[in-house]
Amino acid sequence: MTRERSIPEAALPRLALYLRVLGELTENGAERVSSDELASATGVNSAKLRKDLSYIGSNGTRGVGYEIAPLVHALEGTLGLTQNRSVALVGIGNLGHALVGYSGFAERGFRISALFDVDPDLVGIPIGGIVVEHTRRIPEVCPERGVTIGVVATPGQAAQGACDLLVDAGVRCILNFAPVVLQVPSEVDVRKVDLAVELQILSFHASQHGPGTLPRVVNR
């Protein structure tokens, strides 16, 4: 029983990217696309793109290209987007509010179905149609609502506690916005989005652009 080759981790963000751009192409009325076209629309090397698509099966026709509709279907299946995912969001501060209002989630089949915070002024208030629960109710509410993905948007010092509650509640996938390294059991998957880190990487690149670029003066 030979283990089937699984999809390389590095390919996953690109698969999600292809999916989005294919959606845009469909809106523009396209039905077929070649690897070169999709490659230039996504900024990915076309050989890499073909290899990525080959991981999810041979969906193209030689000499022609890819039918968009079945390709989209295959991508959605691979990414597990056919089962509508229920998301819990912990921490309804500035960022939490922005996430609740972010339409990109719903467009991709992610439904925010539970909100949690410790602030008594927030608990009981509906935001975007969902009543905020107290964070301590995570273990009770998450299983009830079939939550499979937890988003941590608390301040740093509250993040590990929120994470622990989510893990207790059976959540196995966590997206962490707090500037903290979360400790989790090995079966739990954590992805981290750290805005300060992104800026620091850019800052590094800015320093590389020749230090002469900085005090640029423009004639007026």
Partner DNA sequence: ACCTGTGAAGATTTTCACAGCA
Partner DNA sequence: TGCTGTGAAAATCTTCACAGGT
- List of residues contacting DNA (CB under 7 A): 8-11, 34-36, 45-48, 50-51, 53-54, 58-66
Residues numbered 141 to 180 that lie near its own copies (CB under 8 A) are 143, 146, 148-149, 170, 172-175, 179
Give the Cβ contact number of residue 108 at 10 Å: 15
Identify the burial level of 88 via C-beta atoms within 10 angstroms of its C-beta, where 0-12 means exposed, 13-18 middle and 19 or more buried: buried
> Taking CB under 8 A as the rule, does residue 127 contact its own copies?
no
Footprint on residues 44-73 left by its own copies (CB under 8 A): none
Partner whose binding site includes residue 46, from its own copies, DNA, none (CB under 5 to 8 Å by kind)? DNA
Residue 191 in tokens: 């992805």
Pick 123 or 142: Cβ nearer its own copies: 142
Q: Choose among DNA, its own copies, none what residue 11 binds, the Cβ cut-off being 5 to 8 Å by kind.
A: DNA
Q: Segment near its own copies (CB under 8 A), from 17-25, 46-54, 61-69, 129-137?
A: 17-25
Give min distance, CB of 198 to DNA, in A.
16
Hunting for tokens 């690897």 — which residue is that?
35
Q: Measured from the CB of residue 38, what is the shortest distance to DNA in angstroms?
A: 8
By the rule CB under 8 A, 215 interacts with its own copies: yes
Residue 132 backbone dihedrals phi, psi, to 5 degrees: -75, 130
Report d(CA 43, CA 212) in Å as an integer.
29
Taking a C-beta distance cutoff of 8 angstroms, is the pair 90, 135 a contact? yes
Binding mask 184-213 for its own copies (x = CB under 8 A): ---x-x-x-xxxxxxxxxxxxxxx-x---x
Dihedral pair phi/psi, residue 150, rounded to 5°: -110, 140
Strand, coil or helix: what is 3?
Answer: coil
Rounded Cα gap, residues 156 and 194, in angstroms: 11
